[in-house]
């Protein structure tokens, strides 16, 4: 069983390794793609990060992350993120769109600011050939991280904005959605699946942000969702993205990568 389409989101090993060490480790394990985070790139410097990634000859399945359109300075910050994604040769810039503005209770206003922000940065993204992947986040994050909470909502935005915008589908955020199968099929018809992220939903979840599970340790039916994604025509990378302060961040990085490979293979069955 091949791992040619496996990517590792580098947040998965961020406590163990810096960007250079993480990329070297992925190569050592035969992994062909990575998704770095901006803070990891900033720490090493953009030019050096580009050298490390090109030197290792790994694909960059995405770049995390842009968005946060309800925060001050978002437009300039997203333009910089687009420039970095272009330099890294990233297949898309992943967008976490932003929660309610500080001291606001107006969800409608937040969603309008997100749509306006996306429209404002889209020309720069198109000019630099960086697709924008809107990632719907689980509704528990509507207050602070994203008011785009379902795949349907993300696709509505991408459909209205047009070329250069699509979605990042992350099992952690969408597994519970009764419309998931239909919306994945819709995303396929629109050719708007730009990224597919996997990690499991643990029961109980002990931390809203940093207790994501390794595939197989929680309740998500990965083979089923994978069939929907494949039926929708997606042939890109499957990216393992696990923030795990109680478990995987405390283990040796090589053990984490070995487990990611094993469990990824199990999702293909």
Contacts with Zn ion, residue ranges (CB under 5 A): 170, 197, 241
Distances, alpha carbon 244 to alpha carbons 204, 210, 213, in Å: 14, 5, 7
Task: Name the minimum Å distance from CB 168 to Zn ion.
Answer: 6
Report the alpha-carbon angle 35-244-138, nearest 5: 75
Task: Give the residue with the Cβ less far from Zn ion, 41 or 199.
Answer: 199
Determine contact, residues 158/135, Cβ cutoff 8 Å.
Answer: no
Helix (H, G, I), strand (E, B) or coil at 265: helix
Q: Is the dihedral of CA 121, 126, 130, 135 positive or negative?
A: positive
Task: Name the minimum Å distance from CB 43 to Zn ion.
Answer: 21
Task: Give the residue with the Cβ less far from Zn ion, 59 or 197.
Answer: 197
Task: Give the residue with the Cβ less far from Zn ion, 39 or 76.
Answer: 39
Task: Give the residue with the Cβ less far from Zn ion, 127 or 140.
Answer: 140
Task: Name the minimum Å distance from CB 93 to Zn ion.
Answer: 13
Task: Give the residue with the Cβ less far from Zn ion, 69 or 194.
Answer: 194
Q: Which residues contact 28 (CB under 8 A, 6 or more apart)?
A: 254
Task: Name the minimum Å distance from CB 233 to Zn ion.
Answer: 20
Task: Name the minimum Å distance from CB 47 to Zn ion.
Answer: 26
d(C-alpha 147, C-alpha 97), whole Å? 7
């Amino acid at each position: 069983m091949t791992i040619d389409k496996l990517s590792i989101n580098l947040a998965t090993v961020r406590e163990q390794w810096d960007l250079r060490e993480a990329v070297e480790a992925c190569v050592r394990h035969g992994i062909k793609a990575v998704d770095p985070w901006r803070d990891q790139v900033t720490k090493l410097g953009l030019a050096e990060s580009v050298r490390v990634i090109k030197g290792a000859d790994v694909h960059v399945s995405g770049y995390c992350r842009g968005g946060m359109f309800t925060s001050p300075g978002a437009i300039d910050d997203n333009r910089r993120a687009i420039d970095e994604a272009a330099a890294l040769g990233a297949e898309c810039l992943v967008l976490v769109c932003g929660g309610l503005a500080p001291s606001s209770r107006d969800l409608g206003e937040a969603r309008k600011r997100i749509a306006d922000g996306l429209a404002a940065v889209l020309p720069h993204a198109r000019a630099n050939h960086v697709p924008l992947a809107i990632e719907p986040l689980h509704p528990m994050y509507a207050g602070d991280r994203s008011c785009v909470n379902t795949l349907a909502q993300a696709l509505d935005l991408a459909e209205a904005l047009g070329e250069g915008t699509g979605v990042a589908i992350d099992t952690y955020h969408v597994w519970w959605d009764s419309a998931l199968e239909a919306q994945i099929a819709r995303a396929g018809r629109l050719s708007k699946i730009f990224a597919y992220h996997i990690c499991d939903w643990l029961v109980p979840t002990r931390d809203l942000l940093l207790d994501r599970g390794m595939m197989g340790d929680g309740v998500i039916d990965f083979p089923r969702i994978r069939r929907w994604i494949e039926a929708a025509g997606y042939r890109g990378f499957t990216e393992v993205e696990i923030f795990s302060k109680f478990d995987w961040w405390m283990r040796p990085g090589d053990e984490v990568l070995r487990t990611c490979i094993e469990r990824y293979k199990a999702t293909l069955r």
